[in-house]
Chains A and B, each alone.
Chain A
Amino acid sequence: MIPELGHFALILALAIALIGAIVPLWGSARGDVALMGIARTTAQVHFGLIALAFACLAYSFYSNDFSVENVAANSNSLLPAPYRLAATWGSHEGSLLLWVLMLSGWMFAVSVLSRSLPLELVARVLSVMSMISIGFLTFLIFTSNPFRRLIPAPLQGNDLNPLLQDPGMVVHPPMLYMGYVGFSVAFAFAIAALLGKRLDATWARWARPWTTAAWCFLTVGICLGSAWAYYVLGWGGWWFWDPVENASLMPWLVGTALIHSLAVTEKRAGFKSWTVLLAIVAFSMSLLGTFLVRSGVLTSVHAFATDPTRGTFVLVFLAIVIGASLALYAWRAPGIARGPGFALVSREAALLGNNLVFAIAMGAVALGTLYPLILDGLGLSKISVGAPYFNTVFFPLVMPALVMIGFGPALRWRDGSFADIARQHLPYALLAAFAAGVWTFAVHGGMVMALALFFAFWIIATTALHVVVPFMRMQRRSFIGRIRAQQPSFYGMHLAHLGIAVFIIGVTLVKNTETELDTKLSFGQSVMVGNYSFHFDSVTPFEGPNYSGLRGRVDVSKNGTPIVTLLPEQHTFTRSGQTMTDAAISAGVFRQIYVSMGEPIGDSAWSLRIYIKPFVSWIWGGALMMAMGGGLALLDRRYRQRLKARVVAPAVMRRKGKGMPTPSLAKS
């Protein structure tokens, strides 16, 4: 009964999305306030229905209803409840439903938080988002129905892929999808602006917080995915340039360019047509990512079931959505007025440089990811492009951006002075070079390490110059007063930039100074790795909820003082018979000690893999700082003021009497 309810809710949601796509758009073309006003209601009902469908599927998983094919294929009754919930989006069908849920959630948010926007714009934005929803709902209902029944029902289900049975995997997909789908808001704003021929700075002002929010989620999502690869795949790497990873990195790179170019469009009314294009491309990359993951055109670790029908559907949808929006862009963009000019040394120029760097970096990743497909399509040959290409190409490409981070925020709009910038920043560049040199020398690193560390220190030093120095110089103000002299977005920007420095330090130090040892240890035996001594105590069997496990005990000490006892585990899953290694990690700020168990050798010895990874936590710490920086930027006074304005809006409307648009929630 419950699955049928969910199925029915999905079908109703499709009907609502059809209304929400057509009626408000028609209303906006005819200037009909009543028709446009429908948009908010349909968006909210649409969200309610999809949330209901999602809850039904989650409940089917929770209650082990194996008469639902999707549940039987991806879950079983031994699976702990949090993983049964995660299994809801562990399959192709479920993850698509999550995609649509996120989309409808963003639509709901737009419908609620858009009080200060012209109704015409809201109608167009929600209509565009409804159209996207129509595509995905059709896909779900006709090719990937998550509620399909399996008669007769099996007594027990298959297991959820053991790789996905991990706390990180519970949170990673929702975060990633929030980011992916969040770019649909900026996309819809851009399309609405193109449709309404209102390509001034206003659409950028409205789209900006939404883009930043989506970017934050995407950053966290990618970060979680990388951390998961690090400790679950169990071989110590954190990024593998797998097509699916690249599929998430490409929208992130475009999104990063977009949030910077939106700043220029908003503040200086510049880069107008470029920003519109970026907004379209960012979301297109999200769709392309979905296609790459779901269609199986590229080989990847994310070996999801591939099905040509599904691939064809997504491709046709992709062609319609992206093709139509790029066609609209080609039609309308020539009419966009050029923005005001700027000098070669100016903040606009720096941000343009940033945009170029990120666009080119995205192009390089796209090329590497799609190259095998293109060569194959031309019938030339079949190749795979691996990590060496990306590692070689990526760092040099982003280097100019790393330089510009340092002085860009200090540049004036329109016309800056090169001499001023050079005089102001040169001491900091020297300081950074010195610090990088000393550190590299201390650990016997090479040129690349020195260069990377220089960029990190350059960013840290110039952040101090731009944040701490003015702060100290402020006169006659309390500490709080001094902090409040700047907007949250100022701190957000610098925090995100600092995050990049932290990230670089993590990547560089791990790459250059990690120690690794694969060894055979008998019980009671010890081994030295770096300054640490590892004493292999014992291995004891235990029973997990849906696996039988072996738990090793390794006492770690440094110079004779015990530091930590690590308990690496091996899980053999009852249902699938697959064995998974669960590494034990002692995470510190400056190093992680990582022990994983290999195979038993005889009765009393095991092969063990031991890593000492300096600064590896900084990789994800840096990424989280970037996301937090974005979050801070959303706390700006102007966004809060808009919230306040929204609260008083209904009262104002009532005073003005009839003839005003009456959106559905105005009464509350």
Chain B
Amino acid sequence: MKLLRFAIPLGVFALLVVFLWRGLGRDPHEVPSPLLGKAAPAFALPALSKDDSVVSSDSMRGKVWLLNFWGSWCFACRDEHPTLMRLAAANEVPIVGIDWKDDPSAGKAWLANLGDPYLTTVKDASGVVAIDYGVYGAPETFLIDRQGVIRKKFIGAITDDEIRNELLPLVHQLNQ
């Protein structure tokens, strides 16, 4: 028994190695979404801009568009932001932003300071819409087609490579 006690650290470590090993084979960004191919949950949320007008997901009907969940508290969103700015500048696909569980003034400051890549931004202070979309963490980005069906989901900061190789080809295809 006494001997076993000193082997506990070794046991804990062995367990940890197993998880680290399995972690290596997985991409933390890769999450299968049950929503792929399903209709995107509808939402109507107040806009982040001053007038507090309500923006509804119906207004995007008939367009291929991106829905991007972010928050000024989110570290990875800061990484992602320049990429979104480049994507917006390319004018290939409109992006709607959802400022998720955020202080509106911090969200506004974010867009004022770093630039605004979004067609419109709405605020989801309680996170209800994020739950509908099954968002685990920010940033997450959904590609939605003309019929309002979710076609692709990007977990974590979207990269230029993903945009070039996965997103834009799909956008072109859906727009045809």
Q: Which of B71-122 contact A (CB under 8 A)?
A: 72-73, 75-76, 78-79, 82, 105, 108-109, 112-115
State A308–B14 Cα separation when bound (angstroms). Answer: 20
The residues of A that contact B168 with a CB separation of less than 8 Å are none
Q: Are B14 and A323 in contact (CB under 8 A)?
A: yes
Partner of B6, one of A329, A383, A609: A329
The residues of A that contact B18 with a CB separation of less than 8 Å are 377
Q: Are B17 and A518 in contact (CB under 8 A)?
A: no
Interface flag for A464 (CB, 8 Å): no
B77 → A minimal CB distance (Å) = 11
State A330–B75 Cα separation when bound (angstroms). Answer: 41
B1 → A minimal CB distance (Å) = 10
State A617–B18 Cα separation when bound (angstroms). Answer: 42
A344 → B minimal CB distance (Å) = 22
Q: Are A326 and B13 in contact (CB under 8 A)?
A: yes
Q: Bin chain A's interface residue count.
A: 35 or more
Interface flag for B137 (CB, 8 Å): yes
State A377–B20 Cα separation when bound (angstroms). Answer: 8
State A119–B72 Cα separation when bound (angstroms). Answer: 58
Q: Are B24 and A311 in contact (CB under 8 A)?
A: yes
Q: Are A382 and B20 in contact (CB under 8 A)?
A: no
A330/B7 contact (C-beta < 8 A), A376-B23, A520-B112 known: yes
Q: Are A326 and B23 in contact (CB under 8 A)?
A: no
The residue of chain B having its C-beta at the shortest distance from the C-beta of A366 within the complex is B16
Q: Are B28 and A315 in contact (CB under 8 A)?
A: no
State A333–B78 Cα separation when bound (angstroms). Answer: 48
Interface flag for B156 (CB, 8 Å): yes
Interchain pairs with CB closer than 8 A, number: 115
Q: Are B10 and A330 in contact (CB under 8 A)?
A: yes
Q: Are B82 and A578 in contact (CB under 8 A)?
A: yes
Q: Are B75 and A301 in contact (CB under 8 A)?
A: yes
Most buried by A among B6, B7, B29, B31: B6
Partner of B24, one of A273, A312, A326, A330: A312
The residues of A that contact B22 with a CB separation of less than 8 Å are 376-377
The residues of B that contact A376 with a CB separation of less than 8 Å are 22-23, 26, 28
Partner of B76, one of A280, A299, A330, A579: A299
The residue of chain B having its C-beta at the shortest distance from the C-beta of A327 within the complex is B10
Q: Are B76 and A301 in contact (CB under 8 A)?
A: yes
The residue of chain B having its C-beta at the shortest distance from the C-beta of A308 within the complex is B24
The residues of B that contact A326 with a CB separation of less than 8 Å are 9-10, 13
Q: Are B113 and A329 in contact (CB under 8 A)?
A: no
The residue of chain A having its C-beta at the shortest distance from the C-beta of B7 within the complex is A330
State A607–B73 Cα separation when bound (angstroms). Answer: 19
State A269–B109 Cα separation when bound (angstroms). Answer: 58
Interface flag for A233 (CB, 8 Å): yes
State A277–B10 Cα separation when bound (angstroms). Answer: 11
A352 → B minimal CB distance (Å) = 17
The residue of chain A having its C-beta at the shortest distance from the C-beta of B3 within the complex is A334
A377/B23 contact (C-beta < 8 A), A303-B79, A609-B109 known: yes
A291/B79 contact (C-beta < 8 A), A376-B28, A607-B113 known: no
Interface flag for A599 (CB, 8 Å): yes
A598/B112 contact (C-beta < 8 A), A326-B13, A329-B6 known: yes
Q: What string of 1s and 0s marks CB contacts (under 8 Å) between B16-53 and chain A?
A: 11111111111011010000000000000000000000
Partner of A291, one of B9, B20, B137: B20
State A610–B22 Cα separation when bound (angstroms). Answer: 45
A247 → B minimal CB distance (Å) = 13
A382/B28 contact (C-beta < 8 A), A315-B17, A327-B10 known: yes
Q: Are B19 and A373 in contact (CB under 8 A)?
A: yes
Q: Are A319 and B112 in contact (CB under 8 A)?
A: no
State A384–B156 Cα separation when bound (angstroms). Answer: 11
Q: Are A242 and B136 in contact (CB under 8 A)?
A: no
The residues of A that contact B137 with a CB separation of less than 8 Å are 383-384, 386
A474 → B minimal CB distance (Å) = 46
The residues of A that contact B136 with a CB separation of less than 8 Å are 381-384
The residues of A that contact B29 with a CB separation of less than 8 Å are 299
State A634–B109 Cα separation when bound (angstroms). Answer: 48
State A453–B108 Cα separation when bound (angstroms). Answer: 33
Interface flag for A403 (CB, 8 Å): no
Partner of B112, one of A323, A333, A370, A518: A518
The residues of B that contact A81 with a CB separation of less than 8 Å are none
Q: Which of A324-375 contact B (CB under 8 A)?
A: 326-327, 329-330, 333-334, 370, 372-374
The residue of chain A having its C-beta at the shortest distance from the C-beta of B31 within the complex is A382
A281/B75 contact (C-beta < 8 A), A297-B24, A318-B17, A376-B26 known: no
Q: Which of B102-159 contact A (CB under 8 A)?
A: 105, 108-109, 112-115, 136-137, 155-157
Q: Are B9 and A329 in contact (CB under 8 A)?
A: yes
Q: Are B113 and A315 in contact (CB under 8 A)?
A: no
Q: Are A299 and B109 in contact (CB under 8 A)?
A: no
Q: Are A598 and B9 in contact (CB under 8 A)?
A: no
The residue of chain B having its C-beta at the shortest distance from the C-beta of A381 within the complex is B136
A62 → B minimal CB distance (Å) = 29
B58 → A minimal CB distance (Å) = 30
B161 → A minimal CB distance (Å) = 12
Q: Are A334 and B6 in contact (CB under 8 A)?
A: yes
Interface flag for A248 (CB, 8 Å): no
The residues of A that contact B112 with a CB separation of less than 8 Å are 518, 520, 598-599, 601, 607
The residues of B that contact A593 with a CB separation of less than 8 Å are none
The residues of A that contact B113 with a CB separation of less than 8 Å are 518, 581, 596, 598-599, 607, 609
State A280–B10 Cα separation when bound (angstroms). Answer: 11
Most buried by B among A297, A298, A387: A297
Interface flag for A240 (CB, 8 Å): yes
Q: Are A277 and B9 in contact (CB under 8 A)?
A: yes
Interface flag for A410 (CB, 8 Å): no
The residues of A that contact B73 with a CB separation of less than 8 Å are 387
Most buried by A among B3, B9, B31, B73: B9
State A572–B158 Cα separation when bound (angstroms). Answer: 22
A173 → B minimal CB distance (Å) = 20
Partner of A297, one of B10, B13, B28, B155: B28
Partner of A370, one of B3, B10, B13, B16: B16
B134 → A minimal CB distance (Å) = 10
The residue of chain A having its C-beta at the shortest distance from the C-beta of B26 within the complex is A376
Interface flag for A397 (CB, 8 Å): no
The residue of chain B having its C-beta at the shortest distance from the C-beta of A311 within the complex is B24
Interface flag for A295 (CB, 8 Å): yes
The residues of B that contact A315 with a CB separation of less than 8 Å are 17, 20-21, 24
Q: List 19 other contacts, CB 8 Å, given A299-B156, A303-B157, A318-B20.
A: A242-B75, A318-B17, A322-B13, A329-B6, A333-B6, A374-B19, A377-B22, A377-B26, A382-B136, A520-B112, A579-B82, A596-B113, A598-B109, A598-B112, A601-B112, A607-B112, A607-B113, A609-B109, A609-B113
User: Can you list 21 contacts pairing A with B, beta carbon distance less than 8 Å?
Assistant: A233-B78, A291-B20, A295-B23, A301-B75, A301-B76, A329-B6, A370-B19, A373-B28, A376-B26, A377-B18, A377-B19, A382-B31, A383-B137, A384-B137, A386-B137, A387-B73, A579-B82, A596-B113, A598-B113, A607-B112, A607-B113
A-B pairs with lowest CB-CB distance, top 6 = A598-B113, A518-B109, A297-B23, A330-B7, A326-B10, A384-B137
Which B residues form the contact surface with A (CB < 8 A)? Answer: 2-3, 6-7, 9-10, 13-14, 16-26, 28-29, 31, 72-73, 75-76, 78-79, 82, 105, 108-109, 112-115, 136-137, 155-157
